[in-house]
Chains A and B, each alone.
Chain A
C-alpha cells in the first residue's frame, strides 16, 4: 500500500505574469485568473458552506476582493493560495451569519484526543463506489462530509480534494503545520468511518457490520 498521489495542479509558471499584468490594469489577465481558479474556489466554497447559492456568492466575493486588493498582494506566496485564503474567510463568514448561535472558526474543533479513533474496523467491498450510481454516490459523499465540523472539512477539501500541500494549506488557513496535520488525520478518519456505513462488505445480503477488536 503506497502513498496517495496528489492531483496535479495546472501550470503556475505564468501565474505571476498574469498577476502582474492584472496589477497594471489588464482585466483580460485577471479574467484568465478567474477562468483558471473559479472551479476550485466554487468547490471549496460549497464544501465549506454546503449551500449552492452561498458558494456562488463566495466565488463572486472572493474574486472581487482579490481584484480590489491585488495591489496589496505581495507575490511572495502563490496567487492561488492567497485567493483560497480570501475564499475560505468569505465562506466561513457565510456560515457564521447563518449559524450565529454557534461559533464557526477553524479552532473550534478540538475535542478529546481520541475523538476520531477508529471504532469500526470492518472492511469495505472491493469497489465500494460501484455499488451506487453517480447521483447516489454524490449524495452519500455530500451528506457524509456535511457531518464534519467546518474546520475539518475545510482542511480535508484543501489538502485531499484540491491537492494543496500541508504548508500551503497552513498558509491559506493561517494554521500551524501540526494543526493542519492533526485536523487532516481526524477528518480522514471520521469520513472513513462514516462512509463505512455505506461501503462495508455485505454479509448474507445485509449490511451487518463486523466488530473490530484490535489491540488499540
Chain B
C-alpha cells in the first residue's frame, strides 16, 4: 500500500470517527398527554430544545393511559421501551418492581437546589432508599360551579357535605342535574371518591404495618355521602370518564362537578363568562375542618440503561424545568397542570399565557387547593407496592359500583372492597 493511499485511509477513518463522535444522542419520550394541542405544545418545546442542543435529539411518542400500564413492561421486555416516561405515583412501583428504574435521587437533589420542589411532590416517588422519578406537574381535584347558578338559588358556595347536598338538590331543576359525580369503574371515579374520603377522615388506606384499613367507619361514611350525590347525578354517570363530566358541566346539564380543571373546555366550548366560573375546595364533612383533595404529582421516569441517553434525558428535563420553558410546558393545558417548583409558580411564562390571565383567580384557587393534596397509598411517608395493583384495578371505584349499581349497602361494599384489595395485594 502506498503512502498516499495510507494517508487517504487515515484521513477517512478520522472523518468517520469524528462523524460518529458528533452523532447526536437520540432519546425518546413517552407521555400520556394525548390531546392534539398538548402534543403540539410538547413538540414546540422539543423543537426549541433540539435547536439549542444540537448534540441531543428528543422525540416524543404520545401514549394512552388506558394502555400504557400494559404496553411499557412489554416494550421494555422487548428492548424497545422509551428513555423517558411520564408517570403518576402509583405507576412507578410497577416499573420499579421489574428493575427498570434506577434512583434519580442525586439529580432530583440537584434540581431541588435550583428550583425548590414542593416537598409532597418528591415524597410520592421517594421510598425504598431512592427517588424514582422527577416531579413535573401537579394536578388536584376541585369543585367547579357557576356563580350565577348559586346566586339565583340563593346559595353560598358549599363548604360542608350538608351544604353540598342541599345545593345539589336546589340546583336539580328544569331537567338539569344538581351535581355530576361519576360511578364508573375507572380512574376518574377513584379520584372523586378519594376526594371525599380525605374530607371525611378516611385519608389512610394502609395501617403503619402495611395491612389495609380501607374498611373503617369513615370510609363507609364517605361512600354513603357519595352515593347520595350520585343519586342527584345523570343516570349515565356509571360510564363517565373525565370528558363526560366536563361536557355535562359545560352544557349546563350539571350544576356542579368535581374535576381537576374545566377551564379549557369551559372557555372553548361556550361554557359562559370567565367571571361566572366558580371553583372551590372539595367540601368537608365537618364544618370548619381543613379542606383536602386528591393530588397527583405527575413526574418523569428515566428508563435508559445507557449513560449517554440518561445524561441527555437529564439535560432535557433540567431545561424543561427552567422558568422560561416551564410555564410554556404547564400551559399545554391552561389551568390543569400546576407547578411543582417554587420558581415555576412565579414564572412569567406561566402567568403570561392569555388563558391563564383570563382565569387568573380560578387558577390561584386551584394552586391554593393543591397544597392540601393527598394520594391514596402515598400519605404516610411509606409506599406499599400493592397500591399499584389496587389502583390499576380501580378497586375504590368498584366498591362504589357495588353500592350504586348492585345495591349493596355501603358497609358491606366497603368490606368487600377491602377483601378485593387484600386479594390484589397478594
- Do A and B pair up? The answer is no
